[in-house]
């Protein structure tokens, strides 16, 4: 494997970690991982300056790259000076299996496969920003402290402030209800508007969200990253009836489905680009997703999805809707490829979703994928403040946006960790970020 090296050999500094140490004659040969190159760098040093180097040490060497007499590498780093910057008392990491890595998250980066995953995650994070910014989306930093529960499910973390007295044993002083945000959607909606010359028609955010679910399964996190997108001026139909302008809002959500589809396909293509080839080799991923790039994902209405499942003997709850097993079964019916399910019943979805003309279904969709189930969810947003009030919405600032020239909007959210699970075939969602937090687990 070739390394990116300077064109001319000159004095350089090499920082990195000793992955292997071999002594031969008067020399010590050290395989160094500098955390940036696509392979290990062979360092050669005299025993006098390298005698104390051991596997796991963080080292700094000063020397130069020279042509290697060996056949395993074209060049090697010949050290004139070598200093041990950090020592590792347990460098072999035999105890850092996948399970133990979750118990010692602060040591995860020592595992070469997980380090490669973190580099791949960072690259996909950057590619996400490039995808949306190249399409004229504006990134918005949304608040993580909020007065409202966006989804209305009640699974929120309360924020409690304490006075100096509480540190001495008295109870904390709880102010007006404040929560950690479960979603940025309502705030994004407020940003999509037209006012004089200030226009924000397409916005998105990519940041942490919090959910106080009492779950310890392989599919749940208390803190995770959400990609959330909002688009103004979704398609509408205008017609005149007795000199009154009537607006019929976009009765399907094809525009949003196509955007989700394009993003997921783009992430898949980027993951398999030469930029990440080496990282995938190091991760040794065996269950990478297979996604059609030249054809749209399947679409099916919720009503038809229930018919497909029940005809095969599956049970679907009329109240709670599709279970995760239902979702995965539905994916199997579509050749283990992504499938959009649209127009969910109104009793299964939040208050902010627009509804069909007969007021029985929502203008909504979920994207279901293998291994994960629901990956993305979105909808056309309800434009009528009075209807929002009838559904129990008492968020005054949110209602006011409907009275201040806000156009019809639609949007969606994608759990970034779920996307990584899907693309890389990661079984446990706790392995998709460096420091996972889940119910009763916050290690450091």
Q: Where are the domains of the chain?
A: 12-86, 99-431
User: Span 264-270, mean pLDDT?
Assistant: 95
Location of structure tokens 């097993």: 325
User: What pTM value is reported for the model?
Assistant: 0.85
Cα gap 432→334, rounded to integer Å: 26
* pLDDT for residue 104: 81
Specify the CATH architecture of the domain 99-431. Answer: 2-Layer Sandwich (3.30)
User: Span 340-360, mean pLDDT?
Assistant: 93
The answer on pLDDT for 41 being more than 80 is: yes
H or E stretch at 385: helix 385-390
* pLDDT for residue 95: 63
SS3 for 239?
A: strand
CATH code, 12-86: 2.40.50.140
* pLDDT for residue 94: 57
Q: CATH topology of 12-86 equal to that of 99-431?
A: no
* pLDDT for residue 90: 77
pLDDT, tens digit (0-9, with 9 covering 90-100), for 65-97: 999 888 888 899 999 999 999 998 877 655 667
Question: What's phi and psi for 280, nearest 5 deg?
Answer: -65, -40
Question: What's phi and psi for 265, nearest 5 deg?
Answer: -65, -40
Instruction: Name the band, by pLDDT with cuts 50, 70 and 90, for residue 6.
Output: very low
* pLDDT for residue 245: 45
User: Span 385-412, mean pLDDT?
Assistant: 89
Closest to 122 in 3D by CA, of 438, 428, 424, 433: 433
Q: Give the relative orientation of helices 324-333 and 302-311 as an angle to the nearest 10 degrees.
A: 90
What the block records as the tokens of 117 is 């995953």
Closest to 281 in 3D by CA, of 268, 272, 290: 272
* pLDDT for residue 429: 92
Beta-carbon neighbour count of residue 223 at 10 Å? 17
Report the range of poorest mean pLDDT among 71-75, 300-304, 308-312.
71-75
Helices (H), 200-323: 254-271, 274-283, 302-311
Report the range of poorest mean pLDDT among 14-28, 73-87, 90-104, 166-180.
166-180
* pLDDT for residue 97: 72
Closest to 409 in 3D by CA, of 190, 115, 259: 190
* pLDDT for residue 92: 67
Burial of 33 (0-12, 13-18, 19+ CB in 10 A): middle
Instruction: Name the band, by pLDDT with cuts 50, 70 and 90, for residue 267.
Output: very high
The answer on pLDDT for 393 being more than 70 is: yes
User: Which is higher by pLDDT, 245 or 120?
Assistant: 120
């Amino acid at each position: 494997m070739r390394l990116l090296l300077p064109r001319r050999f000159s004095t350089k500094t090499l920082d990195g970690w000793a992955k292997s140490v071999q002594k031969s004659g008067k020399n010590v040969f050290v395989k160094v991982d500098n955390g940036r190159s696509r392979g290990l760098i062979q360092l050669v040093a005299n025993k006098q300056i390298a005698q104390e180097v051991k596997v796991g040490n963080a080292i700094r060497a000063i020397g130069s790259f020279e042509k290697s007499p060996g056949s395993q590498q074209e060049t090697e780093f010949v050290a004139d000076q070598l200093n041990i910057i950090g020592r590792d008392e347990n460098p072999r990491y035999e105890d850092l299996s996948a399970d133990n890595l979750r118990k010692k998250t602060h040591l995860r980066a020592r595992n070469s496969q997980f380090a490669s995953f973190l580099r791949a995650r960072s690259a996909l994070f950057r590619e996400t920003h490039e995808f949306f910014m190249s399409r004229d989306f504006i990134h918005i930093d949304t608040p993580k402290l909020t007065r409202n529960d966006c989804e209305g499910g009640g699974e929120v973390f309360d924020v409690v402030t304490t006075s100096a007295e509480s540190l001495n044993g008295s109870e904390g002083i709880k102010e007006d209800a404040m929560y950690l945000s479960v979603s940025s959607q309502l705030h994004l909606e407020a940003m999509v508007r037209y006012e004089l010359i200030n226009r924000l028609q397409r916005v998105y955010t990519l940041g942490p969200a919090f959910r106080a679910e009492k779950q310890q399964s392989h599919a749940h996190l208390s803190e995770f990253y959400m990609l959330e997108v909002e688009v103004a001026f979704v398609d509408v139909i205008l017609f005149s009836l007795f000199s009154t302008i009537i607006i019929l809002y976009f009765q399907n959500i094809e525009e949003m489905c196509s955007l989700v589809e394009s993003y997921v396909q783009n992430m898949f293509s980027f993951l398999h680009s030469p930029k990440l080839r080496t990282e995938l080799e190091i991760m040794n991923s065996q269950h990478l997703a297979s996604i059609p790039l030249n054809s749209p994902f399947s679409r099916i209405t919720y009503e038809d999805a229930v018919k497909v499942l029940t005809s095969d003997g599956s049970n679907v709850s009329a109240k709670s809707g599709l279970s995760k097993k239902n979702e995965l079964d539905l994916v199997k019916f579509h050749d283990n490829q992504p499938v959009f399910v649209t127009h969910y019943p109104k009793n299964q979805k939040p208050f902010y979703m627009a509804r069909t003309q007969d007021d029985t279904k929502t203008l909504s969709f979920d994207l279901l994928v293998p291994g994960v189930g629901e990956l993305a969810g979105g909808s056309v947003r309800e434009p009528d403040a009075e209807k929002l009030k009838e559904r129990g919405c008492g968020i005054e600032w949110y209602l006011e946006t409907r009275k201040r020239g806000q156009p019809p909007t639609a949007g969606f959210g994608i759990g970034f960790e779920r996307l990584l699970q899907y693309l890389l075939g990661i079984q446990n969602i706790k392995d998709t970020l460096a420091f996972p937090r889940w119910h009763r687990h916050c290690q450091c």
